[in-house]
Amino acid sequence: MIEILLFSIITGLVYILMATGFNLILGVAKIVNLAYGAQILVTAYIAASLLPIFPLPIALAGAIAASIAVGAVIWMIMWVFRRDLILSIVASLAIALLIEGLILKIYGSRLLSLIIVTGEIWGISSQWVIAAAVSISSLGFYYLITKHTTLGKRMAAVAENEDLARYIGINVKLIGIASFLIASLLASIASIAITPLYAIYPHMGWYYLTLALAIVVIGGLGSTVGSVASSMVLAFAQNLASYYIGSPAKDLVPIIILVSTLMFRPEGILGRGVRWA
């Protein structure tokens, strides 16, 4: 049982990382980026391709750089459509489908495993320890940026009131780009942390996108604490369901929690009354 609890905490930490990136784009750039999962996908496949060829740091840096480059391209396309919610959703969907199609064409539909490290640290799998350490340090880094830098304060200003931020001289477009790039970085780090614990496959982008969406909705739009809470709730619910009921229950649990939240508490666990419609 102890492994289940530990594993749930680790996956929960990675989920927080994922949801944070998604939330950042939604809050600052006001874009519903459905291609966010595709960025996680790109990082995983590029890391898997580079690892057999290059030393670990270079391979991982290459995968992260590729994900950020993809994020930059997505940003350029999404910026054009961002004033129209429907168009921006359709555009991000199209980008995600395109990336998935390319991955399928290049790599095929096989499930791959990504092995980054082997061995143990204090009797625990090194991979688990690293996933937790990377997630915690990335979240700490993100906290420092958002709370203790000018960029963070400007991002908060844009998220709060874009017009007012522009009025006081903040370059909203630049802040949007920065938020997109930081979100891409978080997505790629989350990918490198989580895929060695699970698997790489061409459709995994949709799974992680659904998780990020569910976390944001369950936690409450705009609530950081809510996202943290819902990430942990989902991770524990998935692993405990798999432990007690069986592996098919794992994918059903987030949907049940999401639907229940929308029915009984649409503003989310710690939301501030924001509703989808």
The helix (H) or strand (E) run that includes residue 59 is helix 56-81
| Residue 246 found at the interface with other proteins (CB under 8 A) | yes
**DSSP structure string for 62-94:** HHHHHHHHHHHHHHHHHHHHTTSHHHHHHHHHH
Least distance from other proteins to the Cβ atom of residue 52, Å: 9
Least distance from other proteins to the Cβ atom of residue 225, Å: 27
- Reduced to 3 states (helix: H, G, I; strand: E, B; else coil), residue 112 is strand
Q: What is the residue type of 190?
A: A
| Residue 113 found at the interface with other proteins (CB under 8 A) | yes
| Residue 118 found at the interface with other proteins (CB under 8 A) | yes
Cβ atoms 42, 68 nearer than 8 A = no
| Residue 198 found at the interface with other proteins (CB under 8 A) | yes
Contact with other proteins (CB under 8 A) among 150, 168, 247, 263: 247
| Residue 184 found at the interface with other proteins (CB under 8 A) | no
With CB under 8 A, what is the number of residues at the site for other proteins?
27
**Angle at CA of residue 136, ends 133 and 137, nearest 5°:** 80
Buried/exposed code over 126-155 (b: 16+ C-beta within 10 A; e: otherwise): ebbbbbbebbeebbeebeeebeeeeebebb
CB closer to other proteins, 150 vs 247:
247
| Residue 199 found at the interface with other proteins (CB under 8 A) | yes
Contact with other proteins (CB under 8 A) among 58, 80, 111, 259: 111
Q: Which residues bind other proteins (CB under 8 A)?
A: 1, 3-4, 7, 108-111, 113, 115, 118, 125, 127-128, 197-199, 201, 239-240, 242-243, 246-248, 250-251
